[in-house]
Amino acid sequence: MAAEGQALTAGDYITHHLVHLQNKKQVEIIDFSVFNLDSLFWSISLGLTAVLFMAYAARRVHSGVPGRLQGLVEMLVELVDTQAKGIVHNETSRRAVSAAALTAFVWIFLMNAMDLVPVDAIPQLWHWAGPAMGLPDYMRVVATADLSITLGMSSFVFAMCLYYGIKVKGLGGFVKDLFSAPFHGHGIGAVLLAPFNFLLNLIEYAAKTISHGMRLFGNMYAGELVFMLIALMGASAALSLSGSLLFVGHVIAGTIWAIFHILIITLQAFIFMMLTLIYVGQAHESH
Is 140 catalytic? The answer is: no
Considering Cα of 222, then 147, then 213, then 181, what sign does the dihedral take? positive
For 78, residues 6+ apart whose C-beta sits below 8 A from its C-beta are none
* Catalytic residue from among 23, 45, 60, 211: 211
Find, among 278, 280, 273, 276, the residue nearest to 50 by Cα.
Answer: 273
- Identify whether 36 is a catalytic site residue: no
Range 83-105 burial, b when 16+ CB lie within 10 A, else e = bbeebbeeeebbeebbebbbbbb
Tell me how many degrees the CA angle 130-254-21 measures, rounded to the nearest 5.
20
Amino acid letter, 80? V
Whether 211 is catalytic is: yes
Which of the residues 155, 201, 215, 236 is marked catalytic? Answer: 215
How far is Cα 87 from Cα 279, in angstroms, rounded to an integer?
9
Q: 208 Cβ partners below 8 Å, 6+ apart?
A: 158, 279
Residues known to be catalytic: 211, 215, 219
